Amino acid sequence: MSDTLTNTTDLAAQLSGDLPRDGFRTEETRWGYIVRTTQDSGNGMIVTQSLSLLAGAALLAAALGMWLIPGMMFSAEAIIMRLFATIMFVSASALLLWYASRGTVSEIQIDTTRGEIREVIRNHTGKMSLLACYSFDAIGDVALVSAGDNVASLVLRYSNSADTVEVACGDELVLTSLRERINRDVITGASHLAKRKAEIDAFKVAA
């Protein structure tokens, strides 16, 4: 009997909201809510970003060094070549440093106030990089894709495309409640927004 009560309590805690779950957690905000992955991005991403940081710093140092090293030629042709190389080095350095600081923690933001979904990646300082943004009416379905052993992925399917966006991966039972909420907010919410927009347009025409 006590085991049954314990299991029921654990399940209720999982479904309650902001607690970490298998692979994801939700966070309530004033404009909606966030579904954030809790899975480790892996050592590969960390190594790649570390190498990008080193390479970016090296290219930036090389770009500055071309103008600081004494004895360099200052003919018109040499200056033009040096300017071109500097632009190339600085551009590549900026790209590598941006990638190194982009972060590894991904999240999906469900903005019920604006009626849009944002794919965001966040770095260790909390700074966000926007990957994609689309309105509720661009989503045609919210589905669970089973991976076996009671594990599933929750995905958003575009209205006019076979492409999908993964929201979370974890326990299928826990994801079911999240799917119902997103389906209610996004699919039903998009219908309400479209109806409201049609009413406003009709009112403007009548006026």
Cα separations in angstroms, 166 against 11, 66, 72, 138, 176: 23, 46, 54, 15, 14
The answer to whether the pTM exceeds 0.75 is no
Predicted local confidence at residue 13, as pLDDT: 38
Q: What is the pLDDT of residues 118-148, one digit of tens each?
A: 998 877 667 778 888 988 888 888 888 887 7
Q: What is the pLDDT of residues 23-75, one digit of tens each?
A: 788 899 999 999 987 765 555 666 776 787 788 888 888 888 877 776 565 66
- Residue 85, pLDDT > 80, answer yes
What's the CA gap between 145 and 113, in Å, rounded? Answer: 28
Residues 6+ apart with CB under 8 A from 146: 152, 172
Q: Please state which of the four CATH numbers 2.30.29, 1.20.1300, 1.25.40, 1.10.3300 is assigned to the domain occupying 20-41+104-206.
A: 2.30.29
Contact 128, 122 (CB under 8 A): yes
Contact 173, 127 (CB under 8 A): no
Predicted local confidence at residue 117, as pLDDT: 92
Predicted local confidence at residue 111, as pLDDT: 93
DSSP secondary structure letter of residue 107: E
